[in-house]
Structure 1
């Protein structure tokens, strides 16, 4: 006869829920979110003081380009999340392909943003305009984060290709950082392109 004590001992261990990545990555992400939060609050204060000027300047941005970049980054987040699932299931080649797809979306985002910057600058919208000074700083700092994210994704792919390394935690941390980049873009898109 099985007692409750032996029944619990023979049951397979259940996996506890945990946050992906490690504490250091979470500290970095929360620090970045705090810094961007300061940028966002500063932008809102300046916008409240000069609402008409900001609204007039904002009309020169292409919402279509902003939507396209948003779709590109959200798609990249889907690929990144699927890569983590693939790593956890042991499908390492599939995870590598998904990380490459994530990076390709990041590169496409960068190219679209470079095209948009070129278009705005060639039409004379530079940092001399208050709205566009915020636009270039916010999107520029975000692009720096995209570059770092691409490096992190590259490190994750390298880890998966080396049979002696293959640490799922590296993939999780890279994807966490990438999700933060996407979250920041959604807020930037809403503030700069949509808010009237």
Structure 2
């Protein structure tokens, strides 16, 4: 074949990459990341202004509970990723089982966090105690709310999977729910060291 003949056939274009999940939910995720980013910066600035107060406040937090919740959320994210993969290859039951494990990880997070809040309340600590506790409770409670919303989304996906929904031909809802859960996990990965660890 002559060079001129081969030049008449354009080379195939690689398939265009697409954003997995719902665009509206991705916009919500970006807005939430921005909101948390502002809160993280506020926490960091407040810490610089009141180092001794923040060090004393951090010393009262349970690092073991925070670390356990980190493991639970990371494990939950891994399970959600396995669930999405299972559904993508046509294994709905496998996907549903992985979602159930992710939900259990979320429940574990909720139980540990509620126990931590109960301990602080029993000590008379609330939003008005001092700057550290105000920001600590605002950040962690806001994140806690997101965990609950993400769990409700996973529960809905689990019920739909059990009813025979979704599959290789319909991954939109699964990918959307997974994206939201991974955001919740990512936020905690930043929040835990910032609030509990960094001095």
Q: TM-score, normalised by structure 1?
A: 0.89
- Partner residue in 1 for 2:126: 126
* Structure 1 residue 16 displacement after superposition: 4.7
Cα 1:88–1:164, aligned 2, differ >3 Å: closer, same or farther?
closer
Indicate which of 171, 185, 191 corresponds to 1:182. 185
* Structure 1 residue 47 displacement after superposition: 1.1
What is the aligned residue count?
191
- Partner residue in 1 for 2:92: 92
Alpha-carbon separation, structure 2, partners of 1:27 and 1:114: 29
Query: Within 5 Å, which residues of 2 pair with 1:18-37?
Result: 18-37=18-37
Query: Any stretches of 5+ residues in structure 2 without a counterpart?
Result: none
Alpha-carbon separation, structure 1, partners of 2:30 and 2:47: 25
Alpha-carbon separation, structure 1, partners of 2:155 and 2:69: 21
Query: Within 5 Å, which residues of 2 pair with 1:133-152?
Result: 133-152=134-153
Cα 1:172–1:165, aligned 2, differ >3 Å: closer, same or farther?
closer
Alpha-carbon separation, structure 2, partners of 1:98 and 1:18: 25
Alpha-carbon separation, structure 2, partners of 1:76 and 1:133: 28
- Partner residue in 1 for 2:171: 168
Query: Within 5 Å, which residues of 2 pair with 1:38-49?
Result: 38-49=38-49
Alpha-carbon separation, structure 2, partners of 1:159 and 1:47: 45
Cα 1:65–1:163, aligned 2, differ >3 Å: closer, same or farther?
closer
3-state SS in 2 of match to 1:190:
helix
- Partner residue in 2 for 1:159: 160
- Partner residue in 2 for 1:58: 58
Query: Any stretches of 5+ residues in structure 1 without a counterpart?
Result: none
Alpha-carbon separation, structure 1, partners of 2:155 and 2:125: 34
The answer to which of 125-134 and 175-184 deviates more is 125-134
* Structure 1 residue 46 displacement after superposition: 1.1
* Structure 1 residue 165 displacement after superposition: 5.8
